[in-house]
Amino acid sequence: FEGDSVLSPSGRVVVSRLTGNLGFSFRRVQATQFGSDYVINIDEPLATVCLPGSKANISYDERFAITHTYGEDNTADIWIIDLTTGERRQVTNMPPGHLALFPHFRSDNWFYFLVRNDDGNERWVAASDAALVMAGE
């Protein structure tokens, strides 16, 4: 019951969205070379995060996961999860008719995301250092 899977930058963790938009499953990826091929095993669960959201993105240091969630009044907001502490934080608080979408990490733990109004006529790219703030850096 998992889909929309995303591989972490190192290839050692996979995050998948749970059916029904109930949250995310994090699993360890174990690749064992078998001749010229690999046998991939993702049977070891690492964590389950109960936070509805769209496809997640994992930071390069694999400490943070980030997603956007849809709310009332045609809004979408960015949420970040500290995978070492389990802390979840809402990064944006969009007004009605505005959506913060598709967050993606840079290698320095800043992330970019798209902001648009509900009719799609206006679009911006925004950036945030919320992961650095959560890490106390």
Smallest Cα–Cα separation from 49: which of 75, 77, 78, 79? 79
Residue pLDDT tens, the chain, 137 long: 888 899 999 999 999 999 877 899 999 999 999 999 999 999 999 999 999 999 999 999 999 999 999 998 899 999 999 999 989 999 999 999 999 999 999 999 999 999 999 887 889 999 999 999 999 87
Residues 6+ apart with CB under 8 A from 125: 112, 113, 114, 115
**What pTM did the predictor assign?**
0.89
